[in-house]
Amino acid sequence: MRTHAVYSVLLLLCFLRTTRSIVCFCLGHCPDNQLNGTCTAPAGSHCFSAVEEVLDPETDTLVPERTYGCLPPDETGLMQCKGHLVPHFYPRSISCCSDLDLCNKHLVPIYSPTPEAGEGEVGALDPSVYHVALLVSLTICLVIFILLVTFAYLRYKQREDRIQRYISEAGSPGDNEEFGLPGTSTLSELIEQSSGSGSGLPLLVQRTIAKQIHMLSSVGKGRYGEVWLARWRGERVAVKVFFTTEEASWFRETEIYQTVLMRHDNILGFIAADIKGSGGWTQMLLITDYYDLGSLYDFLQNNVLDHEAAVKLALTAIQGISHLHTEIFGTKGKPAIAHRDIKSKNILVKKDGSSVIADFGLAVRYNSEGNEVDIAPNTRVGTRRYMAPEVLDETLVTSSFESYKCVDMYAYGLVLWEITRRTLTADKVTQCEDYRLPYYDCVPHDPSFDDMYQVVCVKEVRPEIPSRWNSNITLRTLYKVMSECWHQNPNARLTALRVKKSLSRLDSDISTAVMHKPIY
């Protein structure tokens, strides 16, 4: 009975508490803006204490601002006495009570203050903002990385497909007899037995020859790769092995050599081209005639020339260039070709004293029917020391094939200067200059683009001319030709055909003089 009575009393007290009005401590949230320190709320209300961080305009700092008041039943849905309000830019918190009058006077809700000044409002941003920014940044970086890897792979795949396509076009050679390689065949016989178009041997024959090459020794190394002395069936040949980075040069040189009617006495004799490779390595070969005397650059360092030898070297070199520059019309015609890297190192010397033009990795072809200049996609540029003024000052008209021919003639003028320096003044007179490269006294050994630009374009300097050249008609004629070849104005330079005619006349005069020379 006693327990039941106590329980009844408690229920009565709870009922009275929920049905009676409550007096709350009021500060900053009093009804009707009253400032009497208390407020009376109807039954079911709560007293609350809230704290919020606000910006003090006088000190420009964040300070806590506390408010007290009544929370009627119809507002509990907004403030929700659960400890924290809906998230805001600044921290806020609330505490509520309803058990006693003025119970909220001593409520002290806690909040987390904003980080100290220096971080500012940015430091108070929701951390999720940083997470989103980081995620977006990482995603963008990943996409860029995937694109770069994909691009690199496609480039590699394209290169491998191109090589395999070249190999597949050549087929799989069988025995020598099946592909026209009888055991007694020599290279000259094979070339004579070819199609006669002058475009080189059939690809199957080229591949067979390349597989039978026996390397002997390295004879030179350059920017493009390395040249080896090799043997094929007892015959000596030169094998040019290209660096893997010079794939474009190999393709271009192979295309040029296999051009219809390309074969000429003063163009390096082309024999075969092939690509060997599997897995991680690729070897690009170009097989040509071999000449013991090497390049004109090497020959001039070790030999002096009489007038007949000098004119023969100069004449045969320009005959090779003239053949390149000339377009041959017909069903099996030859396009006009410009070399773009004429220099003494790209001219070879035969045993008979004549010269041949080599290295066509930068050559361009001209299609007169479509008026198109075929320029290979090659990152290589010509040799800076031999660059024409219009190349150095970047005024070369790349759409005009005649411009490229003029560039060749400028470089030929410098080569002619190298030959003339090593030519004797007269018979039995050993007076001549030491071998030097053009502009040896004006620029460093390995001149930069700007070095050559300053000398050739700004100062308009040309190689020095020894006074002894004026005392001899042969040397004087050679000087006149070279000076007209390296003219500053491309349009004023001599053409290859014009130089060929002038030197042919000079060669004829020298031969006649030798024939009529008295013998003592």
Q: Which residues contact 67 (CB under 8 A, 6 or more apart)?
A: 27, 28, 29, 49, 50, 51, 52
Neighbours of 327 (CB within 10 A): 14
Question: Of these residues, 274, 289, 341, 408, which one is catalytic?
Answer: 341
Nearest to 80 by CA among 70, 69, 71, 90: 71
User: Taking the CB of residue 228, how many other CB atoms lie within 10 A of it?
Assistant: 20
Residues 500 and 323: their CA atoms lie apart, in Å, by: 10
First to last CA, the chain: 166
SS (H, E, C) 447-492: CCHHHHHHHHHHCCCCCCCCHHHHHCHHHHHHHHHHHHHCCCCHHH
Q: Which of 241, 220, 240, 217 is nearest to 229 (CA)?
A: 217
Q: For residue 341, indicate whether it is catalytic.
A: yes
**Tokens 């070819």 label which residue?**
194
**Residue 219 CB neighbour total at 10 angstroms:** 16
Task: Say if CB 49 and CB 109 are below 8 A apart.
Answer: yes
Q: What is the DSSP letter of 100?
A: S
**Catalytic amino acids?**
341
